[in-house]
C-alpha cells in the first residue's frame, strides 16, 4: 500500500481553508448573532424584570389605594352609624319629651275635668240638698215656728249697735215685716210691740208676705234689713258649701 502525501497535503489544505472559511463567514456571524440575541434576551429579561417591578409597585399602590378606600369606607360607615345613633337618640329624646308633655297635658286636662265635674256635682248636690231642706222646712211654718223666728229677729235687732237702733227709731217711714205666711192681727200687734222693745222705743211696722222665705220673719227698711228666714239660712248654707268646694 502506497501513501499519497500530495493528496494528504491537499486535503489538509482544503480542511484548513474550509475551517478558515467557516470561521470567517459562518462562525463569526453566528457568534455575533448569538451575542446579539443573548444581549437582546438579557435586555428583555432586564426590561421584563423592570416591568415586573413596576407591576409589583403598581399592584402595591393599588392594594394601598384599596386599603385606603376600605379604611375610608369603614370611617364613613362608622361616622354614618354614629350620626344615625345620634339622630336616633335625639329623636328618641324628643319623642320621650313629647310623650311626657302629652302625658302631663292629659293629666292636667283630666284633673281639670275631674275638678270641674266635682264642682258641678258639688253644686248640684248643694242645690239638691238646699231644695230638699226647703221642702221639708216649708211644712213647719206654724205658730210656734213664727214665735221662734220672732225671738230670733228680736235677738238680731238687740245685737245691732245703739246708734243704728236710734236711727231706726227716728225714721218716719215704716219698716216692712215680711213673713212666709200672713200674720193675724194679734200676731202683728205682738210682733210690733216686741220689735219696738228690741229697738228701745216704738217703731212703725207694716206687714207683708213672701212665700219664698219658706218660714221666718224679716225686717226690711230703706237703709236696714234684718234677715231672719229659712230662705236666708239656706242661701248662706249653699254659699258656704260652694266656697268649701272651691277652696
* Rounded Cα–Cα distance for residues 189 and 192 (Å): 5
CA 186 from chain centre, in angstroms, equals 73
What 3-state class would DSSP assign to 226?
strand
Could you identify the residue written with the cell 210656734? 144
**Ranges of the chain whose pLDDT falls below 50:** none
Do residues 188 and 176 touch, judged by C-beta distance below 8 A? no
The confidence score (pLDDT) of residue 93 equals: 78
CB atoms within 10 A of CB 192: 19
The confidence score (pLDDT) of residue 141 equals: 55
Q: Give the DSSP letter of residue 18.
A: H
161 φ, ψ (degrees, to nearest 5): -60, 150
| H or E element in which residue 55 lies | helix 28-137
CA 16 from chain centre, in angstroms, equals 121
The confidence score (pLDDT) of residue 137 equals: 52
The confidence score (pLDDT) of residue 247 equals: 58
The confidence score (pLDDT) of residue 207 equals: 92
Q: Can you name the residues that pair with 218 across neighbouring β-strands?
A: 178
Q: β-strand 205-209 against 217-220: which pairing, if any?
A: unpaired
For residue 209, the number of C-alpha atoms closer than 13 Å in the C-beta half-sphere is 11
The confidence score (pLDDT) of residue 212 equals: 81
* Rounded Cα–Cα distance for residues 204 and 169 (Å): 8
What are the extents of the domains in the chain?
140-246
The confidence score (pLDDT) of residue 129 equals: 53
The confidence score (pLDDT) of residue 133 equals: 53
Amino acid at each position: 500500500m502506497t501513501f499519497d502525501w500530495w493528496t494528504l497535503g491537499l486535503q489538509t489544505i482544503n480542511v484548513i481553508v474550509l475551517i478558515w472559511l467557516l470561521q470567517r463567514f459562518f462562525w463569526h456571524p453566528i457568534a455575533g448573532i448569538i451575542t446579539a440575541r443573548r444581549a437582546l434576551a438579557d435586555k428583555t429579561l432586564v426590561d421584563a424584570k423592570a416591568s415586573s417591578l413596576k407591576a409589583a409597585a403598581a399592584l402595591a399602590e393599588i392594594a394601598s389605594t384599596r386599603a385606603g378606600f376600605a379604611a375610608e369606607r369603614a370611617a364613613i360607615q362608622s361616622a354614618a352609624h354614629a350620626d344615625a345613633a345620634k339622630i336616633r337618640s335625639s329623636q328618641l329624646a324628643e319623642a320621650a319629651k313629647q310623650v311626657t308633655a302629652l302625658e302631663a297635658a292629659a293629666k292636667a286636662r283630666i284633673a281639670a275635668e275631674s275638678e270641674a265635674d266635682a264642682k258641678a256635682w258639688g253644686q248640684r248636690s248643694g242645690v239638691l240638698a238646699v231644695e230638699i231642706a226647703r221642702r221639708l222646712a216649708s211644712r213647719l211654718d206654724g205658730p210656734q215656728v213664727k214665735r221662734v223666728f220672732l225671738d230670733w229677729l228680736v235677738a238680731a235687732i238687740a245685737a245691732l249697735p245703739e246708734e243704728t237702733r236710734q236711727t231706726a227709731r227716728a225714721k218716719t217711714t215704716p219698716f216692712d215685716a215680711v213673713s212666709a205666711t200672713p200674720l193675724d192681727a194679734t200676731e202683728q200687734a205682738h210682733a210690733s210691740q216686741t220689735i219696738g222693745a228690741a229697738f228701745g222705743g216704738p217703731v212703725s211696722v207694716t206687714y207683708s208676705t213672701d212665700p219664698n222665705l219658706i218660714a221666718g220673719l224679716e225686717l226690711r227698711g230703706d237703709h236696714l234689713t234684718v234677715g231672719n228666714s229659712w230662705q236666708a239660712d239656706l242661701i248662706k248654707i249653699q254659699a258656704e258649701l260652694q266656697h268649701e268646694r272651691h277652696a
